[in-house]
Structure 1
Amino acid sequence: MKYYDNDTLIYLNGSFEKASVTGIDFYGQALHYGYGAFEGLRAYNTHLGTRIFKAEEHFERLKLSCEAIDIPYRWDNNELIEQAYELLAVNNLRSAYIRPLVVSGANMHLTASKEASIMMAAWEWGPYLGQNLLRVCVSSIERPNPKSCRVDAKICGQYINSILASSDALNKGFDEALLLDQNGYVAQASSENLFIEKDGLIYTPPLANVFPGITRQTVAEICKSLHIELIERPLTIQDIYQADAAFLSGTAAEIIGIKEVDHIVYQEDWEHSLSATIQRKYKNLVLENENYEVII
């Protein structure tokens, strides 16, 4: 898809510039070593106007990601949120995906740069994995070991792992990949958190080896509000195969159901599952719909 044209503006270090003419520092560590951090936010066109869902949480996580790898973070998050709304306005966007990116300065040494720049772009983007139930596979590529890098931070270079797993799944005819952790438990998808449903309960892997997704936390809040028990525990491949239903969560993907894993098809009707109820509640939440029906 095309993310920008000659009129698209991006936010760069305090001003709005045309995306088509913005230069790149070819000596930057982000380009050579993946030494940068990013975020993904969604803006929704609600009945109250354009709203960025959980903007404060996302920019706080961007700050924490930079701090985790010693990238200087000198921006005020409240100001960045204001600029994110302005970015939507100058590009005439009401529903959009927003990508803040912090990149380190020029430095060919393997030491932390003392300079950093921030960019924000926005574009219209439907659910990342579409809206149909997914066909997924267990990947041979593992989730990074927490002792090797900060798996709780959204660091640019770590997503090479995700690209490899996702691309391999697509080449095999699947929609997405599930990655195991270093202990052989199912951790998450390439860039989404995983939940399974079994006998009226919802299960998800614990945070130790998975990314602490903001949408993941939102699912936990939804479960609490609907009195659905959510249990965090390590999940085996057999747990995934034998589930009644399953779904992925993430800002880009939102909440999307899984049809089958490694050609094993879930038998429960998705629309009547607890998982689908959570999906409907999430959609109403991000659209700020006050009057809605949730069927359990």
Structure 2
Amino acid sequence: MNYYNSNTIIYLDGKFDKAINSSTDLYGQSLHYGYAAFEGIRAYKTHNGNRIFKAAAHFHRLERSCQLANIPFPWDKQELIAATYKLLQLNKLKDAYIRPLVFCHPNMKLNEPSGVSILICAWEWEAYSGSKLLNLGISKYERPNPKSVPMEAKLSGSYVNSILATTAAKALGFDEALLLDMNGFVAEASGANIFIEKDGKLFTPKTGNILPGITRTTVKELCHVLDIECIEKEITVAELKNADSAFLCGTATEIAGVAAIDDVVFRPLWRESIGYTIQRAYKNLVLEKVNYEVII
């Protein structure tokens, strides 16, 4: 995938410039240690114009991630949102994936940053997992102990764990990895949260050992609107494999149904699952095809 070309514009520290004209220092803490915070945001072409879905929530989490990692965040979030809309306009993007990144200036020491910069870039991107049902493999890699890194922070270095898990899963023929926590309970996929359906109810891992995703929150809000019972709890592997259906959710993934986990195939048709109902409701929500102001 080509993320940029000779005409692509990025936003860097308050200025718009061509991506090919931009550079970064090779001695930054972010490059050497993964000491950075980022977000993944989606923009959609709707009948009301180009809309960034839950922009405020994403930039709030970016600020919170920085706070949790002792990374300065000296920017006004509303100004960043406005800059993001202008960035989409300059690049003539409608349906797009947006990546804000807060990265640290040169400093080879293991202490607080000497300074920070913010980058916002965007590109066309379909749903990360496509439209097919996914085959998941339970990974040999675990989610990090929350005492080692703040799990609610979206930090660059934390995603080495995701890359290792995804690479190993694909080598075994799976579409995606599903990671457990340090206690052996279901945590999340490499870049998405998971919900399972059982006896007409939805269940999702409780917070503490997972990234509490913004799409995950949106699914819970949709459940409230649609009168679907949704329960947060510790989920065992046995409960997972005995579920009626399952789906992943995330900004890039959106809502992606699960066909199988390891050697266990979910028998009910996806179109008959609660996940399919949520998938349709989510798409209507982001495209503003229905009146869900209570959620937005």
- Matched position secondary structure for 2:102: strand
Measured in 2, the distance between the counterparts of 1:172 and 1:273 equals 27
Question: What are the residue-to-residue correspondences of 1:136-285 with 2, within 5 Å?
Answer: 136-285=136-285
C-alpha deviation, 1:25, in angstroms: 0.7
Measured in 1, the distance between the counterparts of 2:85 and 2:149 equals 33
Match of 1:66 in 2: 66
C-alpha deviation, 1:291, in angstroms: 7.1
- Matched position secondary structure for 1:113: coil
The number of residue pairs the alignment matches comes to 292
> What is the aligned-residue RMSD (CA, Å)?
1.0
Measured in 2, the distance between the counterparts of 1:290 and 1:254 equals 17
Measured in 2, the distance between the counterparts of 1:36 and 1:235 equals 31
Measured in 2, the distance between the counterparts of 1:16 and 1:67 equals 26
Q: Unaligned stretches of 5+ in structure 2?
A: none
1:32-63 deviation line (CA, Å, top 9, x unaligned): 00000000100000000000000000000000
Which deviates more from structure 2 when the two are superposed, residues 20-29 or residues 200-209? 20-29
Task: Judge conservation of contact 1:163–1:190 (CA < 8 Å) in 2.
Answer: yes
2:60 maps to a residue whose letter is E
Task: Judge conservation of contact 1:72–1:114 (CA < 8 Å) in 2.
Answer: no
Match of 1:102 in 2: 102
Task: Judge conservation of contact 1:3–1:123 (CA < 8 Å) in 2.
Answer: yes
Task: Judge conservation of contact 2:107–2:114 (CA < 8 Å) in 1.
Answer: no
Q: 2:79 aligned with 1:79, yes or no?
A: yes
Moved over 4 A (4+): none
1:267 maps to a residue whose letter is R
Measured in 2, the distance between the counterparts of 1:68 and 1:124 equals 30
C-alpha deviation, 1:17, in angstroms: 1.2
Task: Judge conservation of contact 1:141–1:179 (CA < 8 Å) in 2.
Answer: yes
C-alpha deviation, 1:114, in angstroms: 3.3
- Matched position secondary structure for 2:20: coil
- Matched position secondary structure for 1:239: helix
C-alpha deviation, 1:131, in angstroms: 0.9
Task: Judge conservation of contact 2:106–2:114 (CA < 8 Å) in 1.
Answer: no
C-alpha deviation, 1:143, in angstroms: 0.3
C-alpha deviation, 1:263, in angstroms: 2.3
2:20 maps to a residue whose letter is S
Task: Judge conservation of contact 1:259–1:266 (CA < 8 Å) in 2.
Answer: yes
Match of 1:93 in 2: 93
Measured in 2, the distance between the counterparts of 1:15 and 1:252 equals 26
Measured in 2, the distance between the counterparts of 1:8 and 1:77 equals 23
Measured in 2, the distance between the counterparts of 1:203 and 1:71 equals 34
Q: Unaligned stretches of 5+ in structure 1?
A: none
- Matched position secondary structure for 1:84: helix
2:288 maps to a residue whose letter is E
Measured in 2, the distance between the counterparts of 1:217 and 1:225 equals 13
Task: Judge conservation of contact 1:71–1:114 (CA < 8 Å) in 2.
Answer: no
TM-score by length of 1: 0.97
1:53 maps to a residue whose letter is F
1:50 maps to a residue whose letter is N
Task: Tell me the percent identity.
Answer: 54
TM-score by length of 2: 0.97
Q: 2:133 aligned with 1:133, yes or no?
A: yes
Match of 1:118 in 2: 118
Measured in 2, the distance between the counterparts of 1:290 and 1:226 equals 13
Measured in 1, the distance between the counterparts of 2:248 and 2:141 equals 18
- Matched position secondary structure for 2:149: coil
1:202-255 deviation line (CA, Å, top 9, x unaligned): 000000111010000000000011110001111111111111000001000001
C-alpha deviation, 1:21, in angstroms: 2.3
